[in-house]
Amino acid sequence: MHVDSPDSRHVISQGHCRTLGATVEEDGVNFAIWCPEAKELELLLFKSVDDDEPEIIPINSSIFNSEYYWHVKVFKVKPGQIYAWRVTSVLHSTTWSPNELNKVLLDPYGLRVLFPEQYERFQSDDEKENFRRCAKNAVIDVTEYEWGLDIHPKHSLNRTIIYEMHVKGFTAHPSSGLSPDLRGTYRGLIEKIPYLTELGITAVELMPVYQFDSKDARPGKSNYWGYSPMSFFAPHEGYAADKSLMGPIDEFRDMVKALHRNGIEVILDVVYNHTSEGDHNGPCYCFKGLDKRGYYIINKQGYFMNYSGCGNTLNGNSPVVRNLILDSLIYWKEVMHIDGFRFDLASILARDQEGVPLAASPTLLDIDGNRHLADTKIIAEPWDAGGLYQLGQIAGSKWREWNGQFRDDVRSFMRGDKGVIKRFASKMLGSPDVYNEHAVDPQKSINFITCHDGFTLWDLVCYAEKHNIDNGENNQDGNNNNISANYGYEGEIDDRQLNALRMRQVKNFMAITLLSMGTPMLLMGDEVLHTQRGNNNAYCQDNELTWFNWDFTKRQVDMLGFTKSLISLRQNGQLKARDRPHKHFLNNYLRESRLQWHGVKPFQPDWSDDSHSLGILVYYGVFNAYAYIFVNAYWEDLTVELPPAPNRLRRSWFKLLDTSKHYPEDVVIMLNRERFHAGDKLRVQARSLVVFMCMAT
């Protein structure tokens, strides 16, 4: 059936809901959307992003409705058409507030979001003002891009080095050497790929690149991190040098293709736990105006449940949201060639429509087992802001997890806290105390000391307290429990002895991250001692505080060289455990690993709560060598006796790493230096780490 729209500009037909969003077809575009409570909708077609007199196509007949879905085909519409939706009448008005009707709404499946020059988050009662100032979608045809011979690198997790980074922050600083139009863009990141390859990175984990609302912050601030999604299909326009219709989409794909060409995988930090519509005081630009009880968790009193800490919580196990999430993931995998996803506050997806945790979340299991995502890395942040903590318990065996206990236990042990040594030992071995299933490999654990949320690595050893005054929230925001230390002075200071101690500690943290079993993740800038001056919640700091500064000092160059050497060491040889166990406080995985534990004397580890040092002997697979690692987290030097090589080998030990040394003597990969032997007594400096190696044959 074909009919004319009221103003006769376009001919329409009933369309279909086989695909949602705006689908380009041979003779027009099919528009389809979920809105089960609607009695009448309008499809708005705009001539430009600032147009305040759109063509209005009423959709109020049953021929355009298939139960929960509304759809219409508009003939002769082409890619580039700007559009939006509006719900004008609903079946049960008691479930809708006046602020949620007659609003200009984005398409949840829209592939491109456009912003007028005078964009406003909150819509007024003035229809023309809303038309002119609201965000809108554009019809996009994504089939024209030429991928060429793009190949997914597909690194195994035990060969993966993840680099968590911010697209804009990586190149926005003037010191990047890029022209102003390239700074902070996808294209700018392409220019800096040689830095990543030289560092040894195999995967970048990009902080949110889905279109987000930069105005979702306190007055005078902007949302820098991007955990404020407006769309789950459109790339963020603000990171594109080319802001034409296809600019952000194609520029993003250019970046992915360039990274792949250099052997680097692309993992996206995705936010499927909330949107920037906030609670009842927030704006209504999409989901609220279509089906707020389908898209969000809302209690019986009608209030938005806030398990995300951002005002609302997506109803992750409702059919509409579960389908949206899967469709979004598959789109980014198949159309944008993404290699993996890190799920922000993934535990929210284990909550039902009332917020009650599910033992086996259908959504988490669907993501885990979806055939389209079979060769995709999926990583959970296994907690949420409502107190649900699921480390080691995320439903589905394919999931990998950000290991917050690795972060906390290593920080505590290296700070000198009591009663941590057993937990610390477990974390170095892939956290078998957490992942105690028999079928779990060490790479279940994503090991990190720092991430975007919290102190940088250098700030971790310079500040005992957070310093977030500049965020405008009276220092009330951000985590109070940082497990950090300043070692005698709060903040940076020109004190040679203190800075040497701090340098040893950051090297210790970096070494433990890269030597431990599991998959290591580094925070952008930690390899060059980036500081945020004690700000541990820099979500609204879109400035030089958070941007990567490419003008390195001598100390930063030394740290960079140390990190490169460590990554090279890890990439060229994987730690594998062999030989008999000494203690049995861990589970079967640890016992079967057949490790040797040592203290300041061979075979005499100190597992007491007052212990601050530990020796570990493991087999270094690719090198066919044994590695002896001694960690001294004590605040005084220790005299340590070297153990004998396993299997009664009469072979020499060579020192491979010593965090108390200055670069380039801190990592010596060529084993042609001084020889050491079993029984030799060595002085291991306070708060330092040493590694020795002995060839097995």
> Annotated catalytic sites, by residue?
344, 381
> Would you give the DSSP letter of residue 373?
G
Q: In the structure, how many helices (H) and strands (E) does the chain have?
A: 14, 28
Q: Are 39 and 100 in contact (CB under 8 A)?
A: no
> Would you give the DSSP letter of residue 469?
G
Q: Phi, psi (5° rounding) for residue 393?
A: -130, 5
Q: Give CA 655 to chain center in angstroms.
A: 36
- 35 Cβ contact partners less than 8 Å away, ≥ 6 residues apart: 41, 68, 69, 70, 85, 87, 290, 291
Give the separation between CA 490 and CA 599, rounded to whole angstroms: 33
> Would you give the DSSP letter of residue 356?
P
Strand 613-620 relative to strand 625-632, pairing: antiparallel
Strand 136-138 relative to strand 445-447, pairing: unpaired
> Would you give the DSSP letter of residue 442?
G
Q: What is the CA radius of gyration of the chain?
A: 27
Structure tokens at 381: 């942040």
Comparing CA positions, the residue from 264, 256, 268, 257 lying closest to residue 161 is 264
Determine the residue type at 152: H
Determine the residue type at 525: G
- 323 Cβ contact partners less than 8 Å away, ≥ 6 residues apart: none
Give the separation between CA 659 and CA 562, rounded to whole angstroms: 9
Q: Are 76 and 64 in contact (CB under 8 A)?
A: no
Determine the residue type at 111: L
Determine the residue type at 411: R
- 493 Cβ contact partners less than 8 Å away, ≥ 6 residues apart: 499
Q: Are 22 and 29 in contact (CB under 8 A)?
A: yes
Edge-first strand listing for the sheet containing 113-114: 55-59, 38-46, 82-90, 136-138, 113-114
Structure tokens at 315: 């109803």
3-state SS, residue 667: strand
Q: Phi, psi (5° rounding) for residue 558?
A: -65, -45
Q: How far is CA 294 from CA 82, 108, 318, 352, 386, in A?
A: 26, 13, 6, 12, 20
- 10 Cβ contact partners less than 8 Å away, ≥ 6 residues apart: 4, 45, 55, 57, 74, 75, 76, 77
Give the separation between CA 499 and CA 658, rounded to whole angstroms: 17
Comparing CA positions, the residue from 629, 687, 640 lying closest to residue 503 is 687
Give the separation between CA 571 and CA 597, rounded to whole angstroms: 24
